[in-house]
Amino acid sequence: MDCPSGHELSEFANALIHSRQNTSPRRLAEPGPSPQQLQAILGTAAAAPDHGQLQPWRFVVVPKAQRARLAEVFGQALLDRDPNATQTQVENAYEKAHRAPFLMLAVAQLIDRDGQTNPAPESDAPYSESTEAEVTDLERLVSFGCAIQNIVLSAHAAGFGTGLTSGQALASPQLRALFDLHENEQAVCCINIGTVTRHKPARLRPTVLDYVSELN
């Protein structure tokens, strides 16, 4: 795809990136993205860096009609961890599935240790095609994070707020069963999208010097 370039685009990209902030799903109200907006937003995941082009991630949208099933899983996972959880705590767990207008589960696909293929023979080519087994879990997770960031920034550019939510319920057997997760898959977080009802103050961000050094 041809890409416009220049000062204005650079200013826009920087402003977009720096103005994004995580919004709690409690502060995400209707309207959520339209089907057309969603297609554009979700399509940006495909532009994530992806060593070996494995696409080591997938996303599962949970439409409103299915939220009760996710709520049930959140509630049950809490009760399994803490059988003494109060009614309020359980209701709070249920509610997490219903807050944002749009919610989807982000699933990382790590090395499939059962179906693992052998590394490719040595090649003289400067950039040989990587086999699945050569791309480590860390590399896969980097691609996964980039895909999420693309989605989040695209939603932000379209005027929506986004919030990532995780928690112990995502590793529960009930959730794994509900989303039919394969052994090499891990549910990492939910991506919530909606219209921000109340902005939070910008947080103090680290400076370049905090995280960049020079080899000497």
- Record the tokens describing residue 88, joined without a space: 């309020």
What track of x and - describes contact with ligand FMN for positions 2 through 41 (by CB under 6 A)?
-------------------xx-x-----------------
Q: Name the residue with tokens 């693992």.
A: 116
Smallest distance, ligand FMN to C-beta of residue 1, A: 27
Smallest distance, ligand FMN to C-beta of residue 2, A: 31
- By C-beta, is 24 or 131 nearer to ligand FMN? 24
Helix (H) or strand (E) holding 36: helix 35-43
Asked if 188 is part of the footprint of ligand FMN (rule: CB under 6 A), the reply reads yes
Asked if 164 is part of the footprint of ligand FMN (rule: CB under 6 A), the reply reads yes
Q: How far apart are CA 145 and CA 45, in angstroms?
A: 10
Instruction: State the sign of the Cα–Cα–Cα–Cα dihedral 74, 77, 78, 84.
Output: positive
CA nearest to 24, candidates 164, 169, 150: 164
Q: Name the residue with tokens 């939910």.
A: 190
- By C-beta, is 153 or 178 nearer to ligand FMN? 153
Tell which positions 63-122 bind ligand FMN, by CB under 6 A: none
Q: Which of 126, 203, 213, 215 binds ligand FMN (CB under 6 A)?
A: 203
- By C-beta, is 14 or 34 nearer to ligand FMN? 14
Tell me the residue ranges of DSSP E strands in 25-127: 28-29, 57-61, 102-109
Tell me whether the omega of the peptide bond preceding residue 126 falls within 30 degrees of 0, making it cis: no
Where does residue 172 fall: left (phi above 0), alpha (psi -120 to 50 degrees), or beta otherwise? beta
Smallest distance, ligand FMN to C-beta of residue 202, A: 8
- Please answer whether residues 108 and 185 qualify as being in contact, where contact means their C-beta atoms are separated by less than 8 angstroms: yes
Size of the site for ligand FMN (CB under 6 A): 10
- By C-beta, is 38 or 188 nearer to ligand FMN? 188
Site residues for ligand FMN per CB under 6 A: 21-22, 24, 164-167, 188-189, 203
